[in-house]
Structure formats: structure tokens, C-alpha cells
Amino acid sequence: MSAYLYLFAWRIIRFLPVRLVRIVFAKFAVYFYYRNGKQVDQLRENLTIVTSKSGSDLEVLVKAGLVSYSRYWAEAFKLRSFSSRTINKMVKIQNPQILLDPPKRGQGVVVAVAHLANWDLAGSWFASQAGELITVAERLKPERLFEAFLSYRKSIGLIAYPAKDRQTVPALRQALESGKIVALVADRDMSASGIEVLFCGKICSMPAGPASLAYATNSVLTTACLHNEVNHLAGWVDSPIEFDMSLPKDAAIKKATQEMADRFTKYVQSYPADWHVLQKLWRQDA
């Protein structure tokens, strides 16, 4: 989708009924499935690794995955027009206190999530409970589109810092030291400093950021699983990941990141149709 199409969609779609938008986007998803472009083929490859499915079973899953991804975009274009009451009806998260309680005593929280279901919707719900949520946004081109994404996230209660910006890590550390919640989508490494982990039985690189930030600021580190139900977004916040303080710092961070990857494996294998990674992830020789 071109930058101008994104901007046009944000202006127009917010005024349409959400059910209609989901239906229209789902039809586009099926169209893209039958076009079978590079991203569709990459999703097929990724889901083969996650589930070991093949043949018609795999094709049903790939199509369902694209429809689920289209639901993410349908809701994203509508999200800023939803009232807090509507968002409360749309989100049902178990164990939210694992994120909400530490800031009450001045302790920061880092929550790592995979590209599952609608993480923006979940973030908006948590922001409404906590006051705000801090996150990171991948820098997009053109700049006008990136600014639109930042404006969108701010409108739903998310304070987003640009990825790979010099000021971002210090800003995240300051937020955590001030007892804020930092949410990071962490099943795909976009830096040169990732940590090699086993994910779904194969080697890939995941970002060091979640564990490194939590370790450096004495914050709670945890993960959350999200998945779509027919009429709402469901999920849960998992128990905190404890650092092994008997290990050197780098080893403790690596071990915590592997535990994060183990949890993501469980989440993604449980809800593969809601996992939206259409890029190459695993090492070719793994």
C-alpha cells in the first residue's frame, strides 16, 4: 500500500462502520492470497516452520493468516475513532495487574509481544488503564507517513519513539526509571545487535532491547500473548521473567531473551493464524 493510500485510508475509513471495514479488508486479503506475491509466499514459509503443516491444511492457514492481518489494519484505521467504552468491550486481557501494579510502586515494566493479532488495540487499552504506554516505531518513508504513524499512536495513548534513533534508548530508560510501561514488539530483530535464540525450533535473531532495558533499570520483564476472537481481542500477560543474577550480565540477558523466545514459540504455535510476520525471520542454514 502506497504512503498516500495509507493517509487517505486514515482520513476516510474512520467514518465507516467497523464491521463493513473488516469485511472489505478481508476480501482484499483473499485477493492478495490468490495473487500469491512474495510476502504471501514468505508467510507460507514461516507458517510451515511454525506448524509443520503442508498441502491444503497449510493453504487454509495462510489464507486465514492474511484475513487476520487484514483485521489488524481494519481496526488500526478505525482505532482513533473508538471511544474508551468501545475499546473496553473489544479487549479482554487476563492478568493485566502484572503490568499495571509495578508502576504504582514506582517500578517500570517492559512487556515484549510478538506480532500477534492487534497489538495497537491492546496497547491502547493498557494506556487507558495506566495513563500512557511507551513504545518504539519503525521509521518509515516518506517522512510524512512516519509522522502520520506517530500521530496515530499518540492519538490512541501510545508514546512512540523512532527505532534506531540516538535518543530512543535513553528516553526508554528514563521512562522505565520513572515507573512507566514500555511495550516492545520483539519477535523480529531489526538491528545488528540481536541475540541468537531458538524460536520454533530454529535459530533466529531477536532484539536484545527488552531484556537489556529491564536489566539496566531493575524493571519487571514479562511477555504477553494476544489472539483474535470473533468479537474481541483476547490474551493474557504472562508471569515475570526472572534474571539469573548468578550469571554475568550478557549471559543473564541472553538467557532471559531465550525464555522470551520460548514463550513466543508457545504463543505463535497456539495461534498461528494471528501471527503477522511476512518477512524472512530464520537463518537459512539453521
Q: Which of 164, 80, 162 is nearest to 127 (CA)?
A: 80
Residue 201 confidence (pLDDT): 96
* Contact in structure between 225 and 236 (CB atoms under 8 Å): yes
Average pLDDT, the chain: 93
Between these two residues, 151 and 33, which has the higher pLDDT value?
Answer: 33
C-alpha cell at 264: 513466543
> For 178-202, what is each residue's pLDDT tens digit?
999 999 999 988 666 799 999 999 9
Residue 188 confidence (pLDDT): 86
Residue 4 confidence (pLDDT): 65
Mean pLDDT of 225-230: 97
Strand 220-228 to strand 109-113: parallel, antiparallel, or no bridges (unpaired)?
parallel
List, in order, residues 6 or more apart from 250 with CB less than 8 Å away. none
Mean pLDDT of 224-252: 97
Residue 153 confidence (pLDDT): 86
Mean pLDDT of 36-55: 97
CA distance 256 to 263: 11
Q: Decide: helix, strand or coil at residue 194.
A: coil
pLDDT at 1 over 60: no
Segments in the chain forming alpha helices (H): 3-12, 18-35, 38-51, 55-79, 84-90, 97-104, 119-130, 143-155, 168-177, 209-217, 249-270
For the chain, percent of residues with pLDDT exceeding 90: 78
Residue 11 confidence (pLDDT): 75
> For 210-223, what is each residue's pLDDT tens digit?
999 999 999 999 99
Residue 61 confidence (pLDDT): 98
Surface-to-core class of residue 91, CB atoms within 10 Å of its CB (0-12 exposed, 13-18 middle, 19+ buried) = buried
Between these two residues, 236 and 162, which has the higher pLDDT value?
Answer: 236
By residue count, the chain amounts to 286
pLDDT at 102 over 90: yes
State the sign of the Cα–Cα–Cα–Cα dihedral 201, 206, 212, 215.
Answer: negative
Q: Which of 215, 266, 216 is nearest to 244 (CA)?
A: 215
**183: β partners:** 111
* Cα separations in angstroms, 147 against 3, 113, 114, 151, 245: 11, 23, 24, 6, 40
Residue 91 confidence (pLDDT): 97
CA distance 222 to 46: 25
Confidence of residue 139 (pLDDT cuts 50, 70, 90): confident
Residue 2 confidence (pLDDT): 60
Mean pLDDT of 52-61: 97
* Cα separations in angstroms, 240 against 24, 69, 166, 273, 278: 39, 28, 28, 26, 29
> For 152-174, what is each residue's pLDDT tens digit?
888 899 999 998 889 999 999 99
Q: Decide: helix, strand or coil at residue 261.
A: helix
Amino acid (1-letter code) at residue 221:
L
Surface-to-core class of residue 233, CB atoms within 10 Å of its CB (0-12 exposed, 13-18 middle, 19+ buried) = buried
pLDDT at 23 over 90: yes
Q: Decide: helix, strand or coil at residue 1.
A: coil
CA distance 73 to 115: 13
